[in-house]
Amino acid sequence: MKLLKYFNSKKSGGGDCEVDYQSGSRTAVLRFRTEQDQKNVLGKESHQIQLGSAVLKMTVRFPPDEKTAAAPAPLKQEVPSDNVTKTSEVQAEAKGRDDVAAEETLCSTSAVLGKVPEDMSLEVLEMLVENIIKGMKSPSASFTLEIIHGISSVVVTFKTGKESTDFVARCPQNKMFTNKGFSVRPLELTRQVAIEDTQKFEKDYLYLYFEKAGGDVESVLLNEGEQFVITFKDSQAVQKVVKKKHHIQQEEFRVYPFYSSLGAVLYGKDRPCLKLPAAISEPTDDAVWRYLNDHKSALETIHSDLAKHFCSVKHEGSVVILRPVPSILGQKDAKAHH
């Protein structure tokens, strides 16, 4: 992508062109639309592209086996090798590969399935995705699923941005997808990460820590889910910090990407396993118990009000047993506490 942008620009002296490049190769073939653009590029002694803090230098020449023809001939550009040390060669190659990887990270590898029924099982969703991708050029593409409770959505994450893009394009062609009325969209790149162990950290400390560990920080806020959300000025900073293990005052912690459009964190394979809390039992005062027995409507009101808070009530004599209902695990803000 950077090669194409550079040789299409006035900076290179070029213009409208095509670039043939194979990942890992140190050469690329350029095909210009006009002979004048080709001559302009050849006329420059050297070319260079800025890759982060490094510079990739290139020379441009005709391919060795290319003969003069009426149409503009393809050019071959490569990192110079005869006039630089071996160290420079290795650095140039490494930077080139890193840049390709960086380009891939700038393309989202995830897609969001919307309007998914809350009672649809993970197994059914997996089979649906498998059926959709079986017609792709990479039918063996691996993926992970994360159900986002509370907003009827599922995030499908692939290894590459291309696989995700192909998946989004193929969804409307699937019969079950259309019959169920599902929606699909690419998941945006995020500039935010979240930390859940909020009691361990101070806001200002986190600001300075992530400015050092990731890059320019825009804000650090505590959200309603009791998570610190760190917003960077650049989405690449997120890619950088989520791959690391972090330590503050000798305590290890992890950060995960936060998506404001989902109102949720994506944990990937680290998603915590949620379990229902244990039931609790409490004895009831005899006078209160007699009153409830004599006034059934009051007892029904208690049951109804507690049900709104995902709690079921059972009576065993004068002992009241309070138990959380399974549907609480499907709530958007449900999370594991250690």
Look at residue 5 in the predicted model and tell me its pLDDT. Answer: 75
CATH topology of 110-186 equal to that of 192-270? yes
The secondary structure element, H or E, covering residue 230 is strand 228-232
Q: End-to-end CA distance of the chain, in Å? A: 45
Instruction: Give, in order, the Cα–Cα distances in Å from 228 to each of 220, 231, 232, 303.
Output: 7, 10, 13, 35
Asked whether the beta carbons of 28 and 35 are under 8 A apart, the reply is: no
Instruction: Say if residue 178's pLDDT is above 90.
Output: yes
Domain coordinates in residue numbering, the chain: 2-103, 110-186, 192-270, 280-330
Please provide the DSSP assignment of 89-129 as one string.
HHHHHHHHHHHHHHHHHTS--EEEEES--TT--HHHHHHHH
Dmax over CA atoms of the chain, in Å, equals 106
Q: Across residues 198-214, what is the average pLDDT?
A: 89
3.30.70.330, 3.10.450.50, 3.40.50.10680, 3.40.50.1100: which CATH number matches 110-186? Answer: 3.30.70.330
For residue 290, the model assigns a pLDDT of 85
Mean pLDDT computed over every residue of the chain: 79
* Full DSSP string of 64-89: TT----SSPPPEEEE---TTS-HHHH
Flag whether pLDDT at 319 surpasses 50.
Answer: yes
> What is the phi-psi region of residue 264: left when phi exceeds 0, alpha when psi lies from -120 to 50, beta otherwise?
beta
pLDDT at 16: 80
Task: Work out the average pLDDT over 107-130.
Answer: 92
Q: Name the burial class of residue 83, with classes exposed (0-12), middle (13-18) and buried (19+) by CB atoms within 10 angstroms of its CB.
A: exposed
Flag whether pLDDT at 115 surpasses 90: yes
Residues across the chain: 338
Q: In terms of pLDDT, which residue wins out, 244 or 11?
A: 244
Inter-helix orientation angle 161-170/122-133, to 10°: 90
The pLDDT tens digits for 32-90 are: 888 888 888 888 878 888 765 566 778 888 877 654 444 455 555 554 444 333 332 32
- pLDDT computed for residue 338 by the predictor: 44
Question: What pLDDT band is residue 176 in, cutting at 50, 70 and 90?
Answer: very high
Chain Cα centroid distance, residue 120: 23
Q: Which fold would CATH assign to domain 192-270?
A: Alpha-Beta Plaits (3.30.70)
Q: Is pLDDT of 116 > 80?
A: yes
Say which residue, 245 or 176, is predicted with more confidence.
176
Q: Is pLDDT above 50 for 14?
A: yes
pLDDT value at residue 18: 80
- What average pLDDT does the segment 18-25 reach? 70
pLDDT at 118 over 50: yes
> Is the per-residue pLDDT at 334 higher than 70?
no
Q: Look at residue 155 in the predicted model and tell me its pLDDT.
A: 96
195, pLDDT greater than 50:
yes
Nearest-CA neighbor of 253 among 198, 296, 207?
A: 198
Cα separation, 48 vs 52, whole angstroms = 13
Answer whether 332's CB lies under 8 Å from 151's CB. Answer: yes
Q: How much of the chain exceeds pLDDT 90, in percent?
A: 30
